[in-house]
Amino acid sequence: MKLVVLDGFTLNPGDLSWKGLQELADCTFYERTPADLTWERAQEAEAVITNKVVFDKAMIDKLPKLKYIGVSATGYNVIDLQAAKDHGIVVTNIPAYSADSVAQDVFALILTITNQVAHYAAEVSAGVWSRSKDFTYWDTPLLELHGKTIGIAGLGHNGMGVARIALAFGMQVIALTSKTGAALPEGIRAVTKEEFFKQSDIVTLHYPLTPETHHIINKETLALMKSSAILINTSRGPLVDEDALAEALNNKRLFAAGLDVMTDEPPAITNPLLKIPNCYITPHIAWATIEARTRLMNMLIQNFASYLKGTVINQVNR
């Protein structure tokens, strides 16, 4: 079987091995594939691996040999699932591979805001502490997490990982979730949407991107939040109306934001959030620890091997 990996660089920039796939198929690897080369590179393939390369209906209609699309990510909105199903193409994804890494990154962003470690390390290196008249020095608010309320929007694998860490910090945990009663672990309380935004000292987003979750953070929900609140997004960029967030931060209606994802990636240099001091942005790295990428690679190989055996796993277009 001929397999084409269309954008393999972010998964494997050289520190992992493609050997597992090479043992299963005749493989061609591309680091990146622009949209105008997708058909040329995929036209002879029976199977493709994609992360961000789009397979819409028009593209799928032009690839009669294609039988399998492996998405090397959890989200699969780059694929027209119905078109794939209509053509008998199996589409698989990689669920839950990065839950621990994402939860860790959520708290890296939170602690960046509450403790300002990088700022103070830079100040010490610049000699500010050495010139201090006191044994201590700080010039930003320093905040304790114990007793604060964290609101988790979405209690899937990532949200639950965040909840476990939050409980260990002694935080109060509330959630926007369809889970109720016995399905909710001890220490987590489901609330209404209005209660969620009003009560949270920290809001962290863990929803997939759907028409219902698009711009869940907007002028209206931001207006409900405390001016002392922090927003964290490590999920999907378009969950946040970036213009509304920039306005809230600039007008001090929100204390700070920590974002690992943006609506456009990479973001335009003109994006207003990039210049706001209390908006802390990292370049979509929550998923990218070596441990998470190793799990992703192993699951990618497992998905394809299972497909070849006729026992498909992690199919998203049944």
Per-position b or e across 94-125, b if 16+ CB within 10 A of its CB = beebbbbbbbbbbbbbbebbbebeeebeebee
Upstream peptide bond of 211 is cis (omega within 30 degrees of 0): no
Positions marked catalytic:
236, 265, 284
**Cα atoms in the 13 Å half-sphere on the side-chain side of 184:** 17
Phi/psi class of residue 88: alpha, beta or left (left: φ > 0; alpha: ψ in -120 to 50)? left
Residue with token string 């979509």: 284
Phi/psi class of residue 83: alpha, beta or left (left: φ > 0; alpha: ψ in -120 to 50)? alpha
Instruction: Collect all residues with Cβ–Cβ distance below 8 Å to 66 and sequence separation of at least 6.
Output: 42, 45, 46, 47, 48, 60, 87, 89
| Contact (Cβ atoms closer than 8 angstroms) between residue 154 and residue 162 | no
Measured between alpha carbons, how far is residue 309 from residues 27, 191, 303, 305 in Å? 18, 45, 10, 6
Instruction: Collect all residues with Cβ–Cβ distance below 8 Å to 237 and sequence separation of at least 6.
Output: 259, 261, 262, 263, 264, 265
